[in-house]
Amino acid sequence: MKKTSRLHWLLPLALALPFAAAFAAALILYGSDILDLVMVALKMVVIA
Amino acid sequence: MKMTGRLAHVFAVIIALLMTLTLLLSALCAQATRLLSDEGLHQRVALDPAVSAAQMERITAAVGQIAAEQSFASETALSLITPEGLADYNRQVISWWMSLARPDAAMDAPQWDSEALENAVREDPLFQEAVRSTLRRTVARDQVGYPISLAVQETVLPVRTQLLAFALPMVQSYVNLSALVGYALNTPVLFAALSLAMAMLIVLLMGGDLRKTALYVGSALSAAALVTLLAMLTVHLLDPGAIVAQANALLGLQITLLLHQLGSGLGLICAIELVAGIGLIFLHQRRVRVSAGSAAA
């Protein structure tokens, strides 16, 4: 019969890892550019 | 379509990965649709006591400045700018900008009605003393009523509306915004249906074995909840409200409140996904243990 594996509990983490990594990479690589773009758009549209 | 062995499990993991993505998109799109269609959400933010107090404070300062310049008692004007009137104007503005995607939408934002205010200022003793009777009507309209109306509008809607009036018809000529918003409102259901289809696919791949299916579906649900939590944590740390506050403090406050509202909705979805996911994995683990125990007996 099949054995109980506690490693099964780690499957959600394994599935979440690629998304977390992609999210972190996008934030590190493009975070400051996105922030600059947001600030430019805000200054254009919003009244101080 | 029964697949056995390692290959079926590899496919199940790949489908669970895709299911994580669709669950994540479904939760995020659900919040986006709230932004696009839930007028009550925007009203809760705009009519929050902190926002109302900040709006009144800003308007009081603007009226005070205009009163000093045009020689009238600021209380004369402020007595006509009531919290109820301001709340009603907030509702009008929200209804206006939420209808902008419609093809027949009015491009001009609603104006704060200043007629009663102009009449009251014309009767103000200080104003009558400072302005000649022949000029009172014109000064009350152009130098008092219009700037106060503009100050109220810019407090409630601190956005350059002329940019919207210029850009929106251009966008409308290329894209059917109304239809696009209609499609966007269906995306949460679409992604949820895709997730369900993937769960069914896992059942088929596992040859109808619900115990094994529970592991993969439960893992996808838990993973989606974990990634959503991570995204929420990042947004919390980045604090978009503080970023917007650099451009306009009042708008920054509203963005913070709006994110709290959206965060609570997303948090609820996360909790449901996490409980369901952990429950399914627990069922899988328990049944494995039970079957292992009965085999030993």
The tens-digit pLDDT sequence of chain B (297 residues) is 455 578 899 999 999 999 999 999 999 999 999 999 999 999 999 999 999 999 999 999 999 999 999 999 999 999 999 999 999 999 999 999 998 888 888 888 899 888 999 999 999 999 999 989 899 999 999 999 999 999 999 999 998 888 888 888 888 888 888 899 999 999 999 999 999 999 999 999 999 888 899 999 999 999 999 999 999 999 999 999 999 999 899 999 999 999 999 999 999 999 999 999 999 999 998 865 555 555 444
Q: Which of B124, B152, B174 is the last residue of a domain?
A: B174
Shared domain check, B281 and B259: yes
The SS3 assignment for B159 reads strand
Is A15 in Cβ contact with B20 (below 8 Å)?
A: yes
Q: Which of these, B224, B222, B228, B236, lies nearest to B266 by C-alpha position?
A: B228
The model's pTM is 0.86
Phi and psi, residue A46, nearest 5°: -90, 140
Q: Which of B152, B174, B196 is the last residue of a domain?
A: B174
What residue numbers bound the domain in which B49 lies? 41-174
* B161 vs A46: CA distance, rounded Å: 9
Mutate which: B288, B290, B291, vs A, most A CBs within 10 A: B288
Shared domain check, B248 and B169: no
Q: Which of B139, B174, B209 is the last residue of a domain?
A: B174
* B114 vs B147: CA distance, rounded Å: 10
Is A2 in Cβ contact with B291 (below 8 Å)?
A: yes
For chains A and B, what is the number of CB pairs under 8 angstroms? Answer: 99
Shared domain check, B28 and B114: no
Give B242 to chain A, closest Cα distance, Å.
12
Shared domain check, B155 and B62: yes
Shared domain check, B214 and B268: yes
Give yes or no for a contact between B86 and B148, defined as CB atoms under 8 angstroms apart.
no
Shared domain check, B232 and B148: no
Domain total in chain B: 2
ipTM over 0.90: no
Instruction: Tell me the H-state helices in chain A.
Output: 11-45
Cβ density class B121-130: b for 16+ within 10 Å, e for less: bbebeebeee
Residues of chain A contacting B223 with CB distance shorter than 8 Å? 11-16, 19
Determine, yes or no, domain membership for B296: no
Residues of chain A contacting B159 with CB distance shorter than 8 Å? 45-47
User: CB contact, 8 Å: A28 with chain B?
Assistant: no
